């Protein structure tokens, strides 16, 4: 028989295995709880969207649209489609399509995979996971600040508050950026011979993005470039000052980074990033800001909006580093249910369901084998208790209960309906001691 070569996952699109997937689930549960405390409601969005959505929203002269999108032609109808590279554009599309912002102000959140055709490296993958939040219909600086308070609460709940720092900037309004843009182009043209290929390409179409270059020589040039903050009018400055004031009142430390411009064209006024120095080059774990013109730009009614997205992979990596521990151990069942004999095996299914009804996690042995081999598996599974059933126990509606982590308790015969009463106190005591 010809040997079949096993297939591998696409480079940069990774399997998330237990126990890492369990750690992700706990992380996501914490973030979702925080979002719900601030009144955010879940929305589920398609992974595939019309390609023009991202060209209009993100900007055609961006790395994402020019080089990183996974786009294809639908073979059935010829429609141009793209695997979503970010979540905001799709959320705005849904808000417009279903008239959500016409009803009342909206606080929404979503989570799931995003896709960008980048060179895979640690913390930067072709399929990566984000949790995003978007607020529609709020024009004041209070919602910008609330998003910052919300993200700070997430870091506190995850035990990461000491490891993440906040950077703020304001991009002002389009007319203010236009004045700055003209002076920025003139400044950069004075360094034409030193500009790298990306900077030369962006000079006329998107010069603001040059300020965000990771090239050290470009950073040196940009250090003396005109600062956008110096071009802001009174209204934009007042908005930015109010965001800073609320953050200070909440005890949040931050720095103003005038080169923080974000990689997407739709932002205006407040932008922010939460960064860490523990993840090397991929130090941004959460980023967002205000995008008041995007809803109208995509065909909706003028609607102020603000939001953020956080990277699950980077947060998970940071949690491992911050807690100074290896990958968390897999979750263990409360009970491993061992059984032997035809009557006992049938009876065991009902016992397992009763214990699950009582709120216990039960791993029912499958595959046969001696009690000795089953008990080895019970111990290896990390279960707190083994419930052991033979035909004699089944006939008497009973089971043997053995504590696997408390060797002083021994083994006792217990009626099935009383099992939860013997097991629960162990976990109640454990939670109290913890």
Residues near 340 by beta carbon (within 8 Å), at least 6 away in sequence: 370, 371, 374, 389, 390, 391
Position 59 scores a pLDDT of 73
> Tens digits of per-residue pLDDT, 270-297?
999 999 998 887 789 999 999 999 999 9
Position 62 scores a pLDDT of 67
Residues near 124 by beta carbon (within 8 Å), at least 6 away in sequence: 118, 282
Mean pLDDT across 327-349: 86
Specify the range with the lowest mean pLDDT, choosing from 23-32, 191-200, 285-294, 308-317.
191-200
Mean pLDDT across 343-364: 95
Residue found by looking up tokens 């024009």 in the block: 139
**Under 8 Å between Cβ of 165 and 53:** no
Position 260 scores a pLDDT of 85
Confidence of residue 325 (pLDDT cuts 50, 70, 90): very low
Confidence of residue 327 (pLDDT cuts 50, 70, 90): very low
> Tens digits of per-residue pLDDT, 96-110?
999 998 878 999 999
Position 245 scores a pLDDT of 96
- Cα–Cα distance, 423 to 356 (Å, whole number): 12
Position 264 scores a pLDDT of 64
Q: What is the largest CA-CA distance in the chain?
A: 92
- Cα–Cα distance, 323 to 316 (Å, whole number): 11
Position 365 scores a pLDDT of 95
Whether cis (ω within 30° of 0) applies to the bond prior to 19 is: yes
Q: What is the pTM of this model?
A: 0.85
**Is 206 or 162 the better-scoring residue by pLDDT?**
162
Position 213 scores a pLDDT of 75
> Tens digits of per-residue pLDDT, 378-425?
999 999 999 999 999 999 999 999 999 877 677 999 999 999 998 988
Specify the range with the lowest mean pLDDT, choosing from 72-76, 202-206, 250-254, 349-353.
202-206
Mean pLDDT across 157-172: 93
Confidence of residue 263 (pLDDT cuts 50, 70, 90): low
Q: Considering Cα of 277, then 281, then 285, then 288, what sign does the dihedral take?
A: positive
The CA angle 13-17-21, to the nearest 5 degrees, is 100
Specify the range with the lowest mean pLDDT, choosing from 56-65, 125-134, 183-192, 232-241.
56-65
Position 330 scores a pLDDT of 62
In angstroms and rounded to an integer, the radius of gyration of the C-alpha atoms of the chain is: 28
Structure tokens, 79: 């429609």
Mean pLDDT across 120-132: 88
Q: Is the pLDDT of residue 428 over 90?
A: no
Specify the range with the lowest mean pLDDT, choosing from 24-28, 79-83, 182-186, 351-355.
182-186
Q: Is the pLDDT of residue 196 over 70?
A: yes
The CA angle 52-55-56, to the nearest 5 degrees, is 85
**Is 1 or 248 the better-scoring residue by pLDDT?**
248
- Cα–Cα distance, 246 to 252 (Å, whole number): 9
**Under 8 Å between Cβ of 388 and 378:** no
- In terms of average pLDDT, the best of 16-25, 85-94, 420-429 is 85-94
Chain Cα centroid distance, residue 111: 6
Q: Is the pLDDT of residue 126 over 90?
A: yes
Position 326 scores a pLDDT of 40
Looking at every residue in the chain, the average pLDDT score rounds to 89
Which residue, 160, 123, 164, is CA-closest to 311?
123
Helix axes 234-249, 141-158, angle to 10 degrees: 30
Position 432 scores a pLDDT of 43
Chain Cα centroid distance, residue 389: 44
All domains of the chain, ordered by start, with CATH?
20-172+232-322 (3.30.930.10), 335-428 (3.40.50.800)
> Tens digits of per-residue pLDDT, 202-241?
777 778 778 777 788 888 888 888 888 888 999 999 999 9
CA distances from 208 to 182, 196, 299 (A): 11, 15, 25
Structure tokens, 73: 């032609």
Confidence of residue 434 (pLDDT cuts 50, 70, 90): very low
């Amino acid at each position: 028989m010809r040997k079949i070569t096993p297939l591998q996952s696409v480079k940069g699109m990774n399997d998330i295995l237990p126990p890492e997937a369990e750690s992700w689930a706990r992380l996501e549960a914490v973030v979702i709880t925080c979002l719900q405390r601030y009144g955010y409601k879940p929305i589920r969005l398609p992974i595939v969207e019309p390609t023009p959505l991202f060209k209009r929203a993100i900007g055609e002269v961006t790395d994402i649209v020019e080089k990183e999108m996974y786009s294809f032609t639908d073979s059935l109808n010829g429609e141009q489609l793209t695997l979503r590279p970010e979540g905001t554009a799709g959320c705005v599309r849904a808000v417009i399509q279903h008239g959500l912002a016409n009803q009342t102000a909206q606080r929404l959140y979503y989570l799931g995979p995003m896709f960008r055709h980048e060179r895979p490296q640690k913390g930067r993958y072709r399929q990566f996971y984000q949790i995003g939040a978007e607020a529609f219909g709020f024009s004041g600086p209070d919602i910008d600040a609330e998003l910052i308070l919300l993200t700070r609460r997430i870091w506190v709940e995850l035990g990461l508050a000491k490891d993440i720092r906040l950077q703020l900037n304001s991009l002002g309004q389009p007319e203010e950026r236009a004045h700055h843009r003209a002076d920025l182009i003139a400044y950069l043209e004075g360094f034409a011979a030193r500009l790298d290929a990306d900077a030369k390409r962006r000079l006329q179409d998107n010069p603001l993005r040059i300020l965000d270059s990771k090239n050290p020589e470009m950073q040196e040039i940009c250090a003396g470039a005109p600062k956008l903050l110096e071009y802001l009018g009174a209204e934009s400055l007042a908005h930015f000052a109010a965001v800073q004031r609320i953050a200070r009142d909440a005890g949040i430390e931050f720095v103003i980074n005038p080169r923080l411009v974000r990689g997407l064209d739709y932002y205006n006024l407040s932008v922010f990033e939460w960064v860490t120095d523990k993840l090397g080059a991929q130090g941004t774990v959460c980023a967002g800001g205000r995008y008041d013109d995007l809803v109208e730009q995509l065909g909706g009614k003028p609607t102020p909006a603000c939001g953020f997205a956080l990277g699950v992979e980077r947060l998970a990596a940071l949690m491992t580093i911050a807690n100074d521990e290896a990958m968390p151990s897999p979750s263990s069942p409360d009970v491993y249910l061992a059984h032997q004999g035809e009557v006992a095996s049938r009876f065991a299914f009902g016992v397992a369901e009763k214990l699950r009804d009582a709120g216990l996690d039960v791993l029912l042995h499958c595959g046969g084998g001696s009690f000795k081999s089953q008990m080895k598996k019970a111990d290896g599974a990390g279960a707190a208790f083994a419930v052991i059933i033979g035909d004699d126990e089944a006939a008497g509606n009973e089971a043997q209960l053995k504590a696997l982590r408390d060797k002083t308790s021994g083994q006792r015969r217990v009626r099935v309906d009383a099992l939860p009463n013997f097991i629960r106190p162990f976990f109640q005591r454990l939670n109290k001691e913890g």
